Amino acid sequence: MSSTQSAVRSHAEAVQVSRTIDYLGLFILFFVILGGFHVHAMLTMGDWDFWSDWKDRRLWVTVTPIMLVTFPAAVQAIVWEHFRIGFGATLCCISLVLGEWINRYFNFWGWTYFPINIVFPAILTPGAILLDGVLILTNSYLATAVFGATAFALVFYPCNWVIIAGLHMPVEYHGILMSIADISGYHYVRTGTPEYIRMIEKGTLRTFGKDVAPVSAFFSAFVCIMIYFIWHFIGRWYGTTKFLQQT
């Protein structure tokens, strides 16, 4: 076969090769994103996602979307620009969640025996679908940043409330009011994570009384817009091919 001949001999063969490349590419992309995004997530918001007694209505709501809109923005910029693929954010989020579950199940439960109801990760898919959807419908990074990233942050707390609400039931524990999540964190000993490290309910949003979660979510949404822009540019830069002029 000379270098000018095609590697495939028929249209059917070309389609088959193309689909094989699709499956291999998606497999590789999924696990590369899983690894990279997982490291990023654990380094930037690890404990908030690790423990149920860190999932509060102020900091968890604020920090998690800000830290997790990053990779979706970058991956969207690459796959939308070069392939018009509309599921970049969802691909990132479900790969991250799968990686987190592997970590929580095999490390936290299988290795150190923390119950799953203390170490489950957050649900991210709804925000990711909304982020992808805005990009597909508007074909605009600006609109995706403003509306998509905002939706990504705003939907985070409501979609996770279903898995944390039960853990916020009140209990009188030896004369002190605690939630079930607080008691879990107290019971299941974390030698390296003393109680004072737990960053919850800190801040000065006292004016809003108990309705602080929406305010935190809107603040998170505002920052997400900016973070989306920054990471979308990182994605575009990362997806650029440059050739050097031979002298």
Partner 1 sequence: MKTIKDRVAKMSFLGLLLALVTTSFYAPSAMAHGEKSQAAFMRMRTIIWYDLDWSSDSVAVNEKVNIDGKFHVFAGWPETVELPDIAFLNIGIPGPVFIRSESYIGGRIVPRSVSLKLGSDYEFSVVLTARRPGDWHVHTMMNVKGGGPVIGPGKWVNVTGSMSQFRNPITTLTGKTVDIETFNEGTIWAWHGLWFAVGLAWMAYFCKSPVFLPRWIMAHSGRRNELITDADKKMTIAFMAGTVVLVLFSYGSANSTYPITIPLQGGVLRDIPALPDQRGNVHVKVNGATYRVPGRAMSMDLTIHNGSDTAVQLCEFQAGAIRFLDSGVCEDETLYPENVLAPDGLSSSDNSAIGPDETKTITVTAQDASWEIERMSDIIYDPDSRFGAIIWFNGEDGSRQSAILNEPLIPVFM
Closest approach of partner 1 to the CB of residue 28, in Å: 11
Distance CA 228, CA 130 (A): 14
> Judged by CB under 8 A, does residue 44 bind partner 1?
no
Choose which of 3, 4, 10, 191 interacts with partner 1 (CB under 8 A): 191
Distance CA 7, CA 17 (A): 10
Kindly indicate which of the ranges 69-77, 158-166, 214-222, 231-239 contains the residues binding partner 1, using the contact rule CB under 8 A. Answer: 158-166
Closest approach of partner 1 to the CB of residue 1, in Å: 17
- CA 103, 104, 105, 108 dihedral sign is positive
Kindly indicate which of the ranges 39-47, 124-132, 217-225, 229-237 contains the residues binding partner 1, using the contact rule CB under 8 A. Answer: 124-132
Distance CA 70, CA 56 (A): 22
Choose which of 36, 40, 42, 159 interacts with partner 1 (CB under 8 A): 159
Choose which of 146, 178, 215, 234 interacts with partner 1 (CB under 8 A): 178
The number of residues in the chain equals 247
> Judged by CB under 8 A, does residue 183 bind partner 1?
yes
> Are the C-beta atoms of 48 and 64 separated by less than 8 Å?
yes
Closest approach of partner 1 to the CB of residue 129, in Å: 5
Distance CA 41, CA 236 (A): 21
> Judged by CB under 8 A, does residue 146 bind partner 1?
no
Count the alpha carbons within 13 Å of 64 in the hemisphere toward its beta carbon: 31
> Judged by CB under 8 A, does residue 103 bind partner 1?
no
Q: 49-68 mask for partner 1 (x: CB under 8 A)? A: ----xxxxx-----------
Choose which of 2, 165, 211, 245 interacts with partner 1 (CB under 8 A): 165
Distance CA 75, CA 141 (A): 12
Count the alpha carbons within 13 Å of 165 in the hemisphere toward its beta carbon: 6
